[in-house]
Structure 1
Amino acid sequence: MTGHRRDALAADAVEALKSRLRDVLVAIAATANDVRRANCEFFSDAPLRLLFVSPLADGADQIAAAIALELGFELHAILPFERDRYLEDMAEAAGRAEFDALLSRASCVLELPGHTSHLLESYVMAGRATVAHSDLLIAVWDGLPPRGRGGTGEIVRLAHDRATPTIHVPISASQPITLRWSAFEPAVITSAEDTANVRGFSNEELNDVLNALVTPPPGAQERNFIHKFQSECRRKVKARIEYPLLLAATGVSRFRRQHWRADAAFEQSHAEWRSYCDACERVQAVSAPLTSLQNWYEWADSLATHFAQSYRSGHVFNFVLGALAVLLALTTLVLPDAKKYLAVAELIAVLAILFNTWFGTRQQWHRRWLDYRQLAERLRPMRSLKMLALAAPDPPGTSANPVARRWIDWYAIAVWRAMACPSGRLTQDKLKILTETIAEHEITPQIDYHRSTARQVERLDHRLEIFGYSLFALALVGCIALLIGFVVDPAWVKHNSNWFTLLSAGLPAIGTAVFGIRVQGDYVGSAVRSEQTAQVLEQIVDRLEREPANLPRAGDLVEQAARAMHADLDEWRLLNQQHDLSVG
Structure 2
Amino acid sequence: MHGTRLCNTVSEAVLATAVAARKESLLEQLADSCARHAAAGDGQATARLADRFEAVIDHFLPRYVQVDLSARHYQIRYRRASVAVFSLAALAVIVASAQYIFGLPHAFVAAEVAAIASILLIFHLGNRFGWHRNWVDCRFLAERMRCGIFVAFLSGKSDAHEELHWSDRLVEESWCLEEFGRRWLQRPRLESAPPAALPILRDFMRRSWLNGQRDFHMRKQARGMCAHLSVSAASETLFWLTFVTAILHLLPHGWLRAVHVDGALSREVLTFLVIALPALGTAFAGVRGHFEFKKQATRSAVMVRHLRHLERRLRAVDDLEGLYHMVWETEQLMLQENAGWHLNTGFNEIVVEA
TM-score, structure 1 as length reference: 0.52
- Which of 141, 147, 158 is equivalent to 1:375? 141
Instruction: Look up the match of 2:24.
Output: 274
CA contact (8 A) 2:89 2:116 kept: yes
1:193-219 Cα deviation digits (max 9, x unpaired): xxxxxxxxxxxxxxxxxxxxxxxxxxx
Q: Is it true that 1:429 corresponds to 2:196 in the alignment?
A: yes
Instruction: Look up the match of 1:227.
Output: 2
Q: Secondary structure at the match of 2:217?
A: helix
- Which of 351, 354, 366 is equivalent to 2:120? 354
- Cα distance in 2, alignment partners of residues 336 and 426 from structure 1: 79
Instruction: Look up the match of 1:412.
Output: 180
Instruction: Look up the match of 1:284.
Output: 47
Instruction: Look up the match of 2:252.
Output: 485
Percent identity for Structure 1 against Structure 2: 23
1:435-492 Cα deviation digits (max 9, x unpaired): 1112101221100000100010110010100000000000111011112235636995
CA contact (8 A) 1:478 1:503 kept: yes
Q: Is it true that 1:476 corresponds to 2:243 in the alignment?
A: yes
Cα 1:508–1:270 change in 2 (3 A) is farther
Cα 1:568–1:228 change in 2 (3 A) is closer
Decide which structure has greater strand share. Answer: 1
Cα 1:454–1:412 change in 2 (3 A) is same
Q: CA offset at residue 396 of structure 1?
A: 5.0
Q: CA offset at residue 533 of structure 1?
A: 1.1
Q: Is it true that 1:569 corresponds to 2:338 in the alignment?
A: yes
Instruction: Look up the match of 2:40.
Output: none
Instruction: Look up the match of 1:552.
Output: 321
Q: Secondary structure at the match of 2:186?
A: helix
Q: Is it true that 1:505 corresponds to 2:275 in the alignment?
A: yes
CA contact (8 A) 1:385 1:392 kept: no
Residue type at the aligned position of 2:113: L
Q: CA offset at residue 270 of structure 1?
A: 5.5
CA contact (8 A) 1:472 1:511 kept: yes
Residue type at the aligned position of 1:284: A
Instruction: Look up the match of 1:541.
Output: 311
- Cα distance in 2, alignment partners of residues 280 and 392 from structure 1: 25
Cα 1:270–1:511 change in 2 (3 A) is farther
Q: Secondary structure at the match of 1:524?
A: helix
- Which of 312, 316, 339 is equivalent to 2:83? 316
- Cα distance in 2, alignment partners of residues 266 and 509 from structure 1: 46
Unaligned ranges ≥5, structure 2: 35-45
Q: CA offset at residue 371 of structure 1?
A: 0.5
CA contact (8 A) 2:167 2:336 kept: no
- Cα distance in 1, alignment partners of residues 228 and 219 from structure 2: 14
Q: Secondary structure at the match of 1:422?
A: coil
Q: Is it true that 1:453 corresponds to 2:228 in the alignment?
A: no
Tell me the matched-pair count: 328
Structure with more contact order per residue of length (Cα contacts < 8 Å, sep ≥ 6): 2
- Cα distance in 1, alignment partners of residues 172 and 98 from structure 2: 55
CA contact (8 A) 2:238 2:280 kept: yes
TM-score, structure 2 as length reference: 0.83
Q: CA offset at residue 335 of structure 1?
A: 4.2
- Cα distance in 1, alignment partners of residues 344 and 145 from structure 2: 22
Residue type at the aligned position of 2:137: D
Instruction: Look up the match of 2:43.
Output: none
Q: Secondary structure at the match of 2:251?
A: helix
Residue type at the aligned position of 1:227: H
Unaligned ranges ≥5, structure 1: 1-225, 237-261
CA contact (8 A) 1:393 1:559 kept: no
- Cα distance in 1, alignment partners of residues 290 and 172 from structure 2: 30
CA contact (8 A) 1:435 1:554 kept: yes
CA contact (8 A) 2:224 2:293 kept: yes
- Cα distance in 2, alignment partners of residues 392 and 278 from structure 1: 28
Q: CA offset at residue 387 of structure 1?
A: 1.5
- Cα distance in 1, alignment partners of residues 145 and 8 from structure 2: 20
Coordinate RMSD, CA, aligned: 3.0
Cα 1:268–1:498 change in 2 (3 A) is farther
CA contact (8 A) 1:396 1:403 kept: no
Cα 1:428–1:446 change in 2 (3 A) is same
More displaced 10-residue stretch of structure 1: 354-363 or 389-398: 389-398
- Cα distance in 2, alignment partners of residues 539 and 413 from structure 1: 29
- Cα distance in 1, alignment partners of residues 9 and 25 from structure 2: 24
Q: CA offset at residue 552 of structure 1?
A: 1.6
- Cα distance in 1, alignment partners of residues 199 and 162 from structure 2: 19
